[in-house]
Amino acid sequence: MKLLTLMSLLLVSLISFSEPTIYALKLDGLHQKDQKGAYDLIIKEAINSKQAYKVEVQVPAYAEKLFGKCTNCCISPANKSPEFYDYGADSVETQAMNYAKIYIYTAKGSPIINSLAGLKGKKVGMRHGLPYGKSFDNAGLNTKAVDKIEKNIKKIDHASIDAFVAYVPDANIIFKNLGLTPYPHDATKPMAVHPDAMVCKNVSGDFIKTFNDGVKALDSSGRLKAILGDGYVEP
């Protein structure tokens, strides 16, 4: 029994010091197959050849599946907020590369809604496949899903929906591209905040420290904000 325990500990130790795989969620502008997205660049510059690693860019559902089965790996972007995930106590959350904030938008000239309670009885637009938090999922709302924020903007203009939820920076970039002022929302009260970090398991402490120190250095130098551009969101 003691020998088996020792061998198990040795195996975990060997796994922890081998090359980790980062399962990156395919998100245009953030993680891309060509690894030229903002988060791809941040990871590359933060680690800066000080640690060996490899990246697999996959659609979100498959990336989650791979992370669930793997050893010595990370998933990005993710965090350990119980509002979004259940990764377990044995996983570690890194320094955040950026933040995604969810806001409730209403039609031009309409009163602001800044709580889930305010959405009760209303038709609420959202996007397919995005997590808005367990509180949103369990609120029993009348939701209508589309594939693009632009479609929710058109729907609210035509009164097909009463409000829609969207992530910033995505929504800010879309409004800017359309030449529109962001529709009414409470900028001081996001519905939820999603730190865009990595969550890792069985990864060496040196790898985590290298990444965290690298992101902090990029932030303090202004390089982080330069990489993120219009996508930068204050904590």
Could you give the 3-state DSSP secondary structure of residue 71? coil
Give yes or no for residue 4 having a pLDDT over 60: no
Residue 77 preceded by cis peptide, ω within 30: yes
pLDDT of residue 129: 79
Average pLDDT of span 87-112: 97
> In the chain, what percentage of residues exceed pLDDT 90?
88
Give yes or no for residue 5 having a pLDDT over 60: no
Model confidence band, residue 130 (pLDDT cutoffs 50, 70, 90): confident
Largest CA distance in the chain: 71
57 touches 77 (CB < 8 A): no
Q: How is the chain split among helix, strand and coil, in percent rounded to 5?
A: 35, 25, 40
- The neighbour count for residue 68, using CB atoms within 10 Å, is 12
Average pLDDT of span 124-138: 93
Q: pLDDT tens digit string along 10-66?
A: 444 444 458 999 999 999 899 999 999 999 999 999 999 999 999 999 998 899 999
